[in-house]
Amino acid sequence: MLLVGIVGSIVGVIIYSGLHKEKTVIVQREAATPVSLTSFEGSGYAAPDFRLAAEKSVHAVVHVKTVTKYQQNYYDNLQDWFFGNPKTMNREVPGYGSGVIISQDGYIITNNHVIDNSNSIEVTMNDGRVESAEVIGKDPQTDVAVLKIKANNLPYLTFGNSADMQVGDWVLAVGNPFNLQSTVTAGIISAKGRSIGIIGSNQRNPYAQQSTQPTGIESFIQTDAAVNPGNSGGALVNLQGDLIGINTAIASQTGTYMGYSFAIPAVIAKKVVDDILEFGEVQRVVIGISGGTVTQPLVDQEKLKVNQGVYVSDLTEDGGAVGAGIKTGDVIISVDGRKITSMSDLQESLAPHRPGEKVEVVVNRKGDEKTYNVTLKAQKGTPRTIGGNDLLNYLGADIEQLSDKELQKYEISYGVKVTKLRDGKLKEAGVPDGFIITDINKTVEVRTIDDIRQAIDRSQANRPILIEGIMPNGKYNYFAFKK
Between these two residues, 409 and 233, which has the higher pLDDT value?
Answer: 233
Mean pLDDT over residues 160-186, rounded?
91
More confident residue, 483 or 231: 231
Q: 189 with 263, same domain? A: yes
260 falls within a domain: yes
Catalytic residue positions, numbered: 113, 143, 232
pLDDT at position 41: 54
Please report whether residue 11 resides in a domain. Answer: no
- The answer to which of 200-209, 211-220, 265-274, 423-432 has the lowest mean pLDDT is 200-209
Q: Name the band, by pLDDT with cuts 50, 70 and 90, for residue 24.
A: very low
Give the integer Cα–Cα distance in Å for 375 and 216. 22
Residue 182 — left, alpha, or beta (φ > 0 → left; ψ -120 to 50 → alpha)?
A: left
pLDDT of residue 26: 35
pLDDT higher than 50, residue 470 = yes
Whether 137 and 262 share a structural domain: yes
State which residues form the domain around 347. 285-378
Instruction: Please report whether residue 296 resides in a domain.
Output: yes
The upper half-sphere exposure of residue 420, i.e. CA atoms within 13 Å in the direction of its Cβ, equals: 6
When pLDDT is averaged across residues 437-463 and rounded to a whole number, the result is 80
Burial letters 342-375, b for 16+ CB under 10 A, else e: bbbbbbbbbbebbeeeebebbbbeeeeeeebebb
pLDDT reading at 9 higher than 70: no
End-to-end CA distance of the chain: 87
Q: Residue 121: pLDDT band by 50, 70, 90 thresholds?
A: very high
Same domain for 313 and 425, yes or no, is no
Does position 447 have pLDDT exceeding 90, yes or no? no
**Enclosing H/E stretch for 9:** helix 2-19
The residue-averaged pLDDT of 394-411 equals: 84
What integer is the mean pLDDT of 425-444?
Answer: 90
For residue 159, which amino acid is it?
F
pLDDT of 388 strictly over 70: no
Same domain, 106 and 177: yes
The secondary element (H helix, E strand) that includes residue 456 is helix 449-458
Does residue 394 share a domain with residue 300? no
pLDDT in tens, 43-61: 555 668 899 999 999 999 9
pLDDT at site 36: 53
Residues whose CB is less than 8 angstroms from the CB of residue 97 and which lie 6 or more positions away in sequence, other chains included? 64, 66, 110, 111, 114, 115, 176, 230, 231, 232, 233, 234
Same structural domain, 447 and 466: yes
Q: What is the pLDDT of residue 387?
A: 55
Which CATH number belongs to the domain containing residue 351 in this structure? 2.30.42.10
User: Which pLDDT score is estimated for 4?
Assistant: 42
Q: What integer pLDDT is reported at residue 200 of this predicted model?
A: 57
CATH code of the domain in which 47 resides? 2.40.10.120
Q: What angle do CA 162, 167, 173 make, to 5 degrees?
A: 60
The total domain count for the chain is: 3
Question: How much of the chain, in percent, has pLDDT values that exceed 90?
Answer: 50
Residues 257 and 124 in one domain: yes
Dihedral of the alpha carbons of 320, 324, 328, 331, in degrees to the nearest 10:
-100
* Cα 294 from Cα 308, distance rounded (Å): 5
Judge if 152 and 137 occupy the same domain: yes
Instruction: Kindly state whether residues 253 and 170 are assigned to the same domain.
Output: yes
Give one DSSP letter per residue of 91-132, joined into a string. EEEEEEEEEEE-STT-EEEEEHHHHTT-SEEEEE-TTS-EEE
**Quick one: pLDDT at residue 31?**
35
Q: Binning pLDDT at 50, 70 and 90, where does residue 454 land?
A: confident
Domain end among 356, 378, 400: 378
Lowest average pLDDT, out of 4-13, 74-83, 100-109, 238-247, goes to 4-13
Checking if the pLDDT of 375 tops 90, the result is yes
User: Which pLDDT score is estimated for 108?
Assistant: 98
| Arithmetic mean of pLDDT over the chain | 83
The top-scoring range by mean pLDDT among 3-7, 117-121, 440-444 is 117-121
pLDDT score, position 390: 62
Q: DSSP readout, 26-38? A: EEPPTTS--EEEE
